[in-house]
Amino acid sequence: MIWISESEEDTLSFGKRIGENVRPGDILLLYGDLGSGKTVLARGIACGMGVSDRITSPTFTLMNPYVGKYPVYHFDLYRLIRPEELYDLDYEEYFYGDGIAIVEWPERMGGLLPEEYMKIGLSQMDSATRRKITLEPFGSRFEELEEVLRPYEGIGH
Protein backbone atom coordinates (compact mmCIF):
# COMPACT_ATOMS: atom_id res chain seq x y z
CA MET A 1 0.00 0.00 0.00
CA ILE A 2 1.29 3.47 -0.88
CA TRP A 3 0.10 6.70 0.69
CA ILE A 4 1.30 10.17 -0.33
CA SER A 5 1.54 12.80 2.39
CA GLU A 6 1.50 16.39 1.24
CA SER A 7 2.46 17.87 4.63
CA GLU A 8 3.53 17.15 8.19
CA GLU A 9 -0.15 17.41 9.15
CA ASP A 10 -1.01 14.69 6.60
CA THR A 11 1.69 12.44 8.05
CA LEU A 12 0.36 13.03 11.57
CA SER A 13 -3.18 12.33 10.40
CA PHE A 14 -2.20 9.07 8.71
CA GLY A 15 -0.29 8.07 11.83
CA LYS A 16 -3.44 8.71 13.89
CA ARG A 17 -5.39 6.37 11.61
CA ILE A 18 -2.79 3.68 12.16
CA GLY A 19 -2.85 4.27 15.93
CA GLU A 20 -6.63 3.98 16.03
CA ASN A 21 -6.40 0.50 14.48
CA VAL A 22 -3.47 -1.16 16.24
CA ARG A 23 -3.87 -3.91 18.83
CA PRO A 24 -1.76 -5.12 21.75
CA GLY A 25 1.33 -6.92 20.52
CA ASP A 26 1.54 -5.01 17.22
CA ILE A 27 5.03 -4.10 16.02
CA LEU A 28 5.49 -1.21 13.59
CA LEU A 29 8.93 -0.85 12.00
CA LEU A 30 9.63 2.59 10.50
CA TYR A 31 12.26 2.73 7.76
CA GLY A 32 13.57 5.92 6.18
CA ASP A 33 16.47 8.33 5.97
CA LEU A 34 17.11 11.12 8.46
CA GLY A 35 14.37 13.72 8.08
CA SER A 36 11.97 11.38 6.27
CA GLY A 37 9.20 11.82 8.86
CA LYS A 38 9.55 8.71 11.02
CA THR A 39 9.18 10.57 14.31
CA VAL A 40 6.25 12.61 12.97
CA LEU A 41 4.49 9.38 11.97
CA ALA A 42 5.30 7.84 15.38
CA ARG A 43 3.82 10.93 17.04
CA GLY A 44 0.63 10.49 15.01
CA ILE A 45 0.40 6.77 15.84
CA ALA A 46 0.77 7.51 19.56
CA CYS A 47 -1.80 10.31 19.34
CA GLY A 48 -4.25 7.92 17.64
CA MET A 49 -3.75 5.62 20.63
CA GLY A 50 -4.66 8.37 23.08
CA VAL A 51 -1.16 9.33 24.21
CA SER A 52 -1.24 12.93 25.42
CA ASP A 53 2.48 13.28 26.26
CA ARG A 54 4.81 15.01 23.84
CA ILE A 55 6.39 12.32 21.66
CA THR A 56 10.08 12.85 20.97
CA SER A 57 12.66 10.66 19.35
CA PRO A 58 14.42 8.56 22.01
CA THR A 59 17.76 8.79 20.21
CA PHE A 60 19.88 8.83 23.36
CA THR A 61 17.77 6.51 25.54
CA LEU A 62 16.86 4.05 22.73
CA MET A 63 13.27 3.67 24.05
CA ASN A 64 10.59 5.93 25.52
CA PRO A 65 7.46 4.40 27.06
CA TYR A 66 4.09 6.18 26.90
CA VAL A 67 0.63 5.50 28.29
CA GLY A 68 -2.33 5.44 25.94
CA LYS A 69 -5.15 3.03 25.15
CA TYR A 70 -2.34 0.46 25.32
CA PRO A 71 1.27 0.98 26.40
CA VAL A 72 3.37 2.49 23.61
CA TYR A 73 7.07 1.70 23.34
CA HIS A 74 8.85 4.07 20.97
CA PHE A 75 12.31 2.82 20.01
CA ASP A 76 14.96 4.77 18.11
CA LEU A 77 17.85 2.43 17.28
CA TYR A 78 19.95 4.95 15.34
CA ARG A 79 22.74 4.86 17.96
CA LEU A 80 22.64 1.08 18.44
CA ILE A 81 26.10 -0.30 17.75
CA ARG A 82 25.36 -4.04 17.90
CA PRO A 83 21.95 -5.75 17.72
CA GLU A 84 22.80 -7.66 20.91
CA GLU A 85 22.50 -4.38 22.85
CA LEU A 86 18.74 -4.84 22.57
CA TYR A 87 18.96 -7.64 25.12
CA ASP A 88 20.10 -5.03 27.68
CA LEU A 89 16.77 -3.27 27.09
CA ASP A 90 14.76 -6.49 27.49
CA TYR A 91 13.29 -5.57 24.11
CA GLU A 92 11.38 -8.87 23.84
CA GLU A 93 9.23 -7.86 26.82
CA TYR A 94 8.18 -4.73 24.90
CA PHE A 95 7.84 -6.41 21.51
CA TYR A 96 5.83 -9.39 22.65
CA GLY A 97 3.88 -7.91 25.57
CA ASP A 98 0.61 -6.06 25.90
CA GLY A 99 1.69 -2.83 24.21
CA ILE A 100 2.56 -1.47 20.79
CA ALA A 101 6.20 -1.23 19.67
CA ILE A 102 7.12 1.54 17.23
CA VAL A 103 10.71 1.18 16.04
CA GLU A 104 12.74 3.76 14.13
CA TRP A 105 15.88 2.45 12.40
CA PRO A 106 14.91 -1.25 12.66
CA GLU A 107 17.62 -2.18 10.16
CA ARG A 108 20.00 -1.90 13.13
CA MET A 109 18.32 -4.98 14.67
CA GLY A 110 20.05 -7.36 12.29
CA GLY A 111 18.81 -10.92 12.86
CA LEU A 112 16.62 -9.89 15.80
CA LEU A 113 13.78 -8.68 13.58
CA PRO A 114 10.44 -10.19 14.63
CA GLU A 115 8.70 -12.68 12.35
CA GLU A 116 5.51 -10.61 12.08
CA TYR A 117 5.32 -6.82 11.83
CA MET A 118 4.19 -3.92 9.67
CA LYS A 119 7.04 -2.45 7.65
CA ILE A 120 6.44 1.25 7.06
CA GLY A 121 8.78 3.03 4.70
CA LEU A 122 8.98 6.82 4.51
CA SER A 123 10.79 8.75 1.81
CA GLN A 124 10.96 12.40 0.87
CA MET A 125 9.58 13.19 -2.55
CA ASP A 126 9.89 16.25 -4.78
CA SER A 127 9.38 18.91 -2.08
CA ALA A 128 10.45 19.55 1.49
CA THR A 129 7.08 18.43 2.87
CA ARG A 130 5.90 15.70 0.47
CA ARG A 131 6.45 12.09 1.59
CA LYS A 132 5.75 8.66 0.16
CA ILE A 133 4.65 6.22 2.87
CA THR A 134 4.56 2.53 2.02
CA LEU A 135 3.06 -0.21 4.15
CA GLU A 136 4.17 -3.81 3.74
CA PRO A 137 2.63 -6.39 6.07
CA PHE A 138 4.57 -9.39 7.37
CA GLY A 139 2.08 -11.81 8.92
CA SER A 140 -1.68 -12.25 8.86
CA ARG A 141 -2.37 -9.72 11.64
CA PHE A 142 -0.61 -7.04 9.63
CA GLU A 143 -2.41 -8.02 6.43
CA GLU A 144 -5.62 -7.29 8.40
CA LEU A 145 -4.26 -3.92 9.50
CA GLU A 146 -3.32 -3.03 5.93
CA GLU A 147 -6.86 -3.90 4.77
CA VAL A 148 -8.36 -1.63 7.44
CA LEU A 149 -6.09 1.21 6.27
CA ARG A 150 -6.59 0.57 2.54
CA PRO A 151 -9.44 3.11 2.21
CA TYR A 152 -6.80 5.76 2.89
CA GLU A 153 -4.54 4.54 0.07
CA GLY A 154 -3.42 7.22 -2.34
CA ILE A 155 -2.95 10.90 -1.65
CA GLY A 156 -3.50 12.29 1.84
CA HIS A 157 -6.49 14.21 3.22
Phi, psi of 117, deg, nearest 5: -175, 170
In which domain, by residue range, is 85 found?
2-149
> Would residue 134 count as lying in a domain?
yes
Report how many domains make up the chain.
Answer: 1
Query: pTM for the full model?
Result: 0.90
Q: In what order do the strands lie in the sheet with 63-67?
A: 63-67, 71-76, 100-104, 27-31, 117-124, 131-138, 2-5, 154-155
> Would residue 156 count as lying in a domain?
no
Report the CATH number at residue 120: 3.40.50.300
Residue type, 41: L
> Would residue 157 count as lying in a domain?
no
pLDDT along the chain (157 residues), means of 10: 90 94 95 88 94 78 89 92 88 91 94 93 86 93 88 59
> Would residue 61 count as lying in a domain?
yes
